[in-house]
Structure 1
Amino acid sequence: MTAPQPIEVLARIVASDPGRPRLTWYDDEPGPTQGERIELSARVLANWVAKAANLLQDDAAAGPGTTVGLDLPPHWRALYWALATWSVGATVAVGPAATGADVLVTTSPERAADHGGDAILVSLPALARSHPEAGDSGGAVDEARELSTHGDRFSPMAEAEDADPALVGDGADTAYGSLVVPRPDWGAAPRVVLDDTLPRVLSDALSAWAADGSVVLTRGPERDLAARLAAEGVTVDGRPGG
């Protein structure tokens, strides 16, 4: 059986149960976003993906053959930008490969300003309405300000083939046809906790969703992680060594 593409995985979890939480984010990293908890249902996740995909397709002409660099930490925003990239049929580039991509999605105004192509400046705080340093980004799209103006539904102008590159960089060169990896050992509808590199988080999140499951994504130290995972109903520890 051919593995589904990410856009199909997203459509399936929306159809299965649009209101069930599919992505829960905890930020324990010291800084302005410490203490954030974000929960996205399948419907809400698809809404974020559609808006980002419309931005990529309409404003950056992204599609098959385009590389989209994710200069982002393993974060809930990185997940919808990756899904948006795969929705337009483009290639996600991570690590050093991100800065040389056709389109750069970054939290850094400096890297956005230095990028030779289209750049999108991302604010990590959940309630951000604009990036405080957008004026230093060389005209990059301010995601916090502009993303909401794009449509809630997305129709790709072109679709990727299974052999097309889906994820490149950091040793994670993967074609579309190999991107969604079944994890039968996780069981049906797993609730998977993740805290790893961005390529690994992207891969494991797709595996969880393909099994009609959900993801709890964390970053930073948490003193009582066991209690949190129990409260969240986690069934699979997908962290390194978990």
Structure 2
Amino acid sequence: MNATDRTPADLLSSALAADPGRPLVTFYDDATGERVELSVATFANWVAKTANLLQGDLAVSPGDRVALLLPAHWQTAVWLLACASVGAVADMDGNAAAADVVVSGPDTLEAARACRGERVALALRPLGGRFPQTPEGFVDYAVEVPGQGDRFVPFAPVDPAEPALIVAGREFGAAEVVERAREEATGLGLTGPGCRILSGLSYDTWDGLNAGLYGPLATGGSVVLCRNLDRLGEEALAKRIESERVSVVRRADGG
């Protein structure tokens, strides 16, 4: 990554320029058996489409608050970087009533209805599948995003000093996210490009977001992001660590 990168979107742009074909996010859901691997290029394409949806169809501007009522998931990672690309504030598990836009998984739709602005629903089904029937009062992300453009250009430059993330009640500026991810990389065990971290942490804390997205992105590494990891036995986990060539493991139980 480049020393001049000041926002999470800058980090993604640098990763794309350096090696677009390498893995960036590999996602497992151990409740469904789902596995998805996204290269830097594929991830960046999803981010561009989502950012275009935000800026165009949803009319999100820099400084607007987007409540993300979503679990640790590859699509959540996409939304975090899309918000960073637009300059919106990604509010993890935030108050929908205080948000300009809410993005909800299938389990949080009722809480999301408190948002008076635009509401987006994610089915979180394998392969990014859509809802069998779109929830009332929402647009289905899987329906809306495929037709968006593959390249994104913000209407206004993103200010690194402006708020970019709220998690566990703590607000971070865009540059602060980048700086903290770099500073904490060694503590996470991310020693340089090529490091691969397996994270079973949720996205409702900074530690979970850093291990599950920002840390690997800031250091040229990659993440094996695992949802419902507690359903996986130790033997199966050991096989995954070996097969995915994982060098660092972060689990909710500290194991």
Distance 2:48 2:11 in 1: 14
Q: CA deviation at 1:100?
A: 2.5
**1:3 touches 1:178 (CA, 8 Å); kept in 2?**
no
Change (3 A) 1:128 1:203: closer
Task: Output the CA distance in 1 between the equivalents of 2:214 and 2:96.
Answer: 20
Deviation for aligned residue 1:3? 5.7
Q: Normalised by the size of structure 1, how large is the TM-score?
A: 0.90
> Which residue type is aligned with residue 115 of structure 1?
C
Corresponding position: 1:215 with 2:227: no
Residue pair 1:69, 1:99 contacting (<8 A) in 2 also:
no
Say which is worse superposed, 227-236 or 94-103, in terms of deviation: 94-103
Partner of 1:22: 24
In the alignment, what sits opposite 1:155?
Answer: 153
Aligned residues of 2:69 and 2:112 also touching (Cα < 8 A):
no
Identical positions, percent = 39
How far apart in 2 are the matches of 1:159 and 1:63?
11
Work out whether 1:227 is the aligned partner of 2:235. Answer: no
CA distances 1:88-137 after superposition (whole Å, capped 9, x unpaired):
01100122434521110002443454421011111101335431241x32
Matches of 2:129 and 2:242, distance apart in 1 = 33
Q: Of the candidates 168, 171, 186, which is equivalent to residue 170 of structure 1?
A: 168
1:60-209 correspondence runs (5 A): 60-107=58-105, 108-134=108-134, 136-138=135-137, 140-180=138-178, 181-182=181-182, 183-184=185-186, 185-189=189-193, 190-198=195-203, 199=205, 200-204=207-211, 205-209=213-217
Q: What TM-score do you get using the length of structure 2 for normalisation?
A: 0.86
Runs of 4+ in 1 over 6 A off after TM superposition: none
Conserved in 1, the CA contact under 8 Å of 2:190 and 2:221?
no
Greater shift in the superposed pair: 174-183 or 109-118: 109-118
State the secondary structure of the residue aligned to 1:81: helix
Change (3 A) 1:174 1:128: closer
- Number of aligned residue pairs: 236
RMSD over aligned CA atoms reads: 1.8
Report the AA paired with residue 193 of structure 1. L
Name which of structure 1's ranges 4-13 and 169-178 shifts more when overlaid on structure 2.
169-178
Flag structure 1 segments of 5+ consecutive residues without an equivalent: none
